[in-house]
A and B are shown apart, each in its own frame.
Chain A
Amino acid sequence: MNLTARQLGPLHVVDVGEKRIDAAVAIAFKDSMRDVSDATTGDVFLNLESVDFIDSSGLGAIVAAMKQLGPDRRLHLAALTPAVEKVFRLTRMDSVFDIHPTIDAALADHGG
């Protein structure tokens, strides 16, 4: 699972370097996100610009990653491609995440 954690100003950003978050990588994704949660404090911003496909297993893994952060931290999503946006919208899970058009937009909103 190719995830890269970096600091962008005050934001903890995780760039997903995979084209797919699907059943084949859902568990690895969740495990890697747990490592990120454990190594940081505060909100995490997941950059999905490289991800062109997600299935229900991948969606479940992103929800699990948010829960791993605990009640006081949020998982933000940025740069959803059309197929990814469609899955979030049809399952109405877009209503439970803060979704930003791009990571730069997230920085503008939360950069302080």
Chain B
Amino acid sequence: MADTALQPPATPYDSGAFIINFHATPLKVRDALETLIDYLGPLNLLQEHLDTIEIVLAETLNNVTEHAYDGDGGPIYMRAIVVDGTLSVVIRDRGKPLPPSLILADDPDGFDPESLPEGGFGWHLIRNLASELTHNRLARWNELRVVFSLV
């Protein structure tokens, strides 16, 4: 297993795209992440890559649940596909528009650890760990596309 883990995944991933629709709650987010990690299992990715993917998508989906929907719930659509050693994930929600500043922020140190912040870590982690990040507002939907290099 260890030596195959260094190989880029076959292209495209034989099982096709992963698609899931779920209601925006913390427990459903947890379930969706578990299902996605299971889907990626046959690729034998490095644990480090799986950790990065799970951290970024957890932050993204929590943001939708807590801010786009203000904790009131709503539909989330997530689609993931692996092509040429790259995982592309599209997440759509019908919540409040995402402020573009969160994607474009050029201030990666928006918090000071010494002040013992209890939040504000999420976008910092997303911007640091994702290979690419794009956001579109489509009619009444937010669409966030996150790309991870797996090689």
Contact = CB atoms under 8 A, between A and B. Distances in A.
Contacts, number: 74
B76 to A, nearest CB: 14
B118 A63 contact: yes
A11 B114 CA distance: 25
Contacts of B122: 55-56
B33 to A, nearest CB: 9
Contacts of A64: 118
Interface residues of A, number: 25
Interface residues of B, number: 29
Nearest to A54: B55
A53 B124 CA distance: 17
B121 A24 contact: no
B116 interface: yes
Nearest to B108: A90
Contact of A20 (B30, B114, B117, B121): B30
Given A57-B62, A83-B54, A95-B113, A23 B118 contact: no
A91 B121 contact: yes
Most buried by A among B29, B66, B117, B124: B117
Given A53-B54, A60-B118, A92-B113, A23 B29 contact: yes
B51 A90 contact: no
Nearest to B27: A24
Chain B facing A: main interface SS:
helix
B75 interface: no
Given A22-B30, A56-B125, A87 B118 contact: no
A67 B122 CA distance: 20
Interface in B47-74: 47-48, 51-52, 54-55, 58-59, 62, 65-66
A66 interface: yes
A59 B117 CA distance: 10
Given A23-B66, A83-B55, 9 more contacts: A56-B59, A56-B62, A57-B62, A86-B55, A91-B113, A91-B124, A93-B113, A95-B114, A96-B114
A111 interface: no
Contacts of B117: 60, 63
A59 B128 CA distance: 16
A82 interface: yes
